[in-house]
Amino acid sequence: MKVIIGDRSKISSLIADIVIEQVNAKPNSVLGFATGTSPLEVYACMAKAHQEGRVSFKSVISFNLDEYIGLNGKHIQSYRYYMDDNLFNHIDIDKKNTYVPKGVGHYKAYASKYDEKIASYGGIDLQILGIGSDGHIAFNEPGTSFDSLTHVTDLMEMTIKDNARLFKDIREVPTKAITMGIKSIMNARRIVLIATGKSKAQAIYNLINGPITEEVPCSILRRHPNCTIYVDDEAYSLVKEERLLNGKGI
Ligand code: GLP
């Protein structure tokens, strides 16, 4: 696992460049997208690159990591809405090739077919990931099996509290979600994770230095053959502190 340190704009544009390179090399790439505030600048850079004619997404297939249960795609807090609003409406991707797990209707049946659907396109070439302050990836909370595929899950109190900042009231935050599993994520051929800000420092410390355990879902990424973590100074601060204390330098 590689670690790259830079400010938010720098690491966002580096990740966008990786996506652009991937799509230019393989126009029908299968991309895995994350939501949350972390990848917003990455998506803005991708949209800009498209508008400047540096990349076309017209043959790309995309799969999103997760969705809240109970929110349909028209709900402003749904991840489908987020993706349309922050990326898909600004690039030439064919929306029928964009898969975001369904959080309404027969979502359990949908979950059980999601990994097959990904496999039917040959698997994910490049997965973008964020991270929760409790170390969750997608909505795989601490304790989730490393063998998990797409499933429906309860959200932890910490995640509900963290995500409440995006809702008017904490009582509006859904308590369940449909999420790709840890195994579904690990199946991606290449993973790039972005984390910025102090609130991610402990999770990044655990990811880099802690034990590999289901109690810290992100820790499994250390076993991935092609995973790079992009962090800013604040997110890296606890790792840096320890390295300096041990005389190892940054
Ligand atoms: C949610 C999402 C995750 C995301 C996390 C962090 O829980 N399901 O995929 O990584 O939030 O969000 P943010 O980037 O806003 O800190």
Q: Is 62 inside a domain boundary?
A: yes
Cβ neighbours for 230, distance < 8 A, ≥ 6 positions apart: 4, 6, 11, 14, 15, 192, 193, 194, 195
Cβ neighbours for 237, distance < 8 A, ≥ 6 positions apart: 198, 201
Residue 118: its pLDDT value, please? 98
**Which residues are designated catalytic?**
66, 134, 136, 141
Residue 113: its pLDDT value, please? 97
Q: pLDDT (tens digit, 9 = 90+) per residue, 145-193?
A: 999 999 999 999 999 999 999 899 999 999 999 999 999 999 999 999 9
Q: Is 66 inside a domain boundary?
A: yes
Q: Is 159 in the pocket of ligand 1 (CB under 6 A)?
A: yes
Q: Is 159 inside a domain boundary?
A: yes
The three-class DSSP label of residue 249 is coil
In the chain, beta strands by DSSP E:
2-5, 30-33, 61-64, 66-68, 98-99, 126-129, 151-154, 176-179, 191-195, 227-231
Q: Which atom of ligand 1 is nearest to the CA of 179?
A: 8
DSSP string, 187-199: TSS-EEEEE-SGG
From atom 13 of ligand 1, which residue's Cα is the shortest distance away?
36
Residue among 37, 38, 80, 156 to mutate when testing ligand 1 (max atoms within 8 A of CB) = 38
Residue 247: its pLDDT value, please? 84
Show the low-confidence residues of the chain (pLDDT under 70).
none
Residue 244: its pLDDT value, please? 87
Q: Is 80 inside a domain boundary?
A: yes
Identify the domain containing residue 141 by its residue range. Answer: 2-245
Q: Is 250 inside a domain boundary?
A: no
**Residues 176, 182, 187, 193, CA torsion sign:** positive
Please tell me what DSSP assigns to residue 186.
H
Integer Cα distance of 119 and 133 in angstroms: 30
Residue 203: its pLDDT value, please? 97
Q: Is 217 in the pocket of ligand 1 (CB under 6 A)?
A: no
The torsion of the CA quartet 83, 65, 166, 163, rounded to 10 degrees, works out to -170
Residue 245: its pLDDT value, please? 86
Q: Is 12 inside a domain boundary?
A: yes
CATH code of residue 51: 3.40.50.1360
Under a CB-based contact definition with an 8 Å cutoff, are residues 36 and 67 in contact?
Answer: no
The C-alpha angle with vertex 71 and arms to 65 and 77, in degrees rounded to 5, equals 75
Cα of 153 vs centre of ligand 1, distance in Å, is 15
Q: Is 139 in the pocket of ligand 1 (CB under 6 A)?
A: yes
Give the count of domains, the chain.
1
